[in-house]
Amino acid sequence: MKVKQVHVRVEDELYEKLNSYSAATDQTIQDCVREAVACYVTDMRKKQREVINKQFTFIDLFAGIGGMRIAFDRSGGHCVYSSEWNKYSQQTYFANFGEQPDGDITKVKAEDIPDHDILVAGFPCQPFSIAGVSKKNSMGKATGFEDKTQGTLFFDVCRILKEKKPKAFMLENVKNLCSHDKGRTFKIILEALDELNYEAFYKIIDGQDYVPQHRERILIVGFNRDLYGDNIDFEFALTPKDPKPVMRDILIEEVADKYTLSDKLWTYLQNYAAKHKAAGNGFGFGIAAPDGVARTISARYHKDGSEILIAQEEKNPRRLTPRECARLQGFPDDFKIPVSDTQAYKQFGNSVVVPLMENVAELIVDKLKEMDSRIENKMDRQAI
């Protein structure tokens, strides 16, 4: 059996406990650690697959730090599987959910993923190669989702849908997915979902009705026609927050000086904005109004924070703290942030508006209840 080395740093207190346990059991510390990790992972997987007092099961693909998971957990779901390749996001996910997501989903066999009711995925948008498809079309050969989506991460969503046939799915992406490659990418996505026999519904939704941030994303929701037939209807009948959140709702009163922009950076941002304004462009920093909404936070926020700055009296503006970024995305205040500020900014910039996702999750769950009830009533009538 091949053995790989893993170097682990632990606190003095934990090291002393390991040392004592090692002496008591006549094992090396390495063996003690390996035994502990093996037991923990086994117990973690068992716990992950147990469904206790939950309405439905779901899987969390391209999970990030778990924004979608929070939404579906709150809607009565139980997560039976998660996947996220970024090691820092895995760290945050583990800190908050006590589960280590699988890594690269492209390496995971679809049959190894647990059965589930709803597939949830915030899949990245990649270019879809149409060269092979065009060649097949010219030869009069049919093409399916495997030809059209192979080599993209959306393909992995498709192969899991094909293998596990969940009742429903919810996919999230940037709004530009609709116009990407002159609309061809989105057309392929809808064709692939149709081929897998799912009735798909989509809408571009702005998160500013749930958090003080202008953030447009496309949501695609689908239901299994093999289970529910062809006459499926679904509406994004959302219930926005009232009153509408504003920036002052998420701000922390006392913030460390390190979040205030240096004179050098502030001068650079002002000069940069003036240069582009003179050229007729709209590029530049953004000072968020306390009673308004902010621009869209992105993964680049860690660089200079220019898209969302907070004005300060007799000081240069400051960037948001990681906790304020979490609030800007609708994460609860008990959400743990175990990583550096740089990684935290990237993670929240890549995440979802949690309360919006929760609202959509509730609509999906209600629709499934309605359709499942209809099937049960039909079966009861047939049994009489």
DSSP assignment of 354-374:
HHHHHHHHHHHHHHHHHHHHH
Q: Which residues pair with 169 in a beta bridge?
A: 119, 222
**Structure tokens, 151:** 């080599």
For tokens 């060269």, the residue is 131
Q: Determine how many CB atoms are found less than 10 A away from the CB of residue 53.
A: 6
CB 110 within 8 A of CB 164: yes
**Structure tokens, 270:** 């002002």
- 3-state class (DSSP) for residue 73: helix
Q: Determine how many CB atoms are found less than 10 A away from the CB of residue 18.
A: 16
Of the listed 32, 125, 158, 325, which one is catalytic?
A: 125
**Structure tokens, 334:** 């008990």
Q: Determine how many CB atoms are found less than 10 A away from the CB of residue 88.
A: 17
**Structure tokens, 339:** 């990583």
Q: Determine how many CB atoms are found less than 10 A away from the CB of residue 297.
A: 23
Strands 216-224 and 168-174: antiparallel
125 annotated active-site: yes
Active site residues: 125
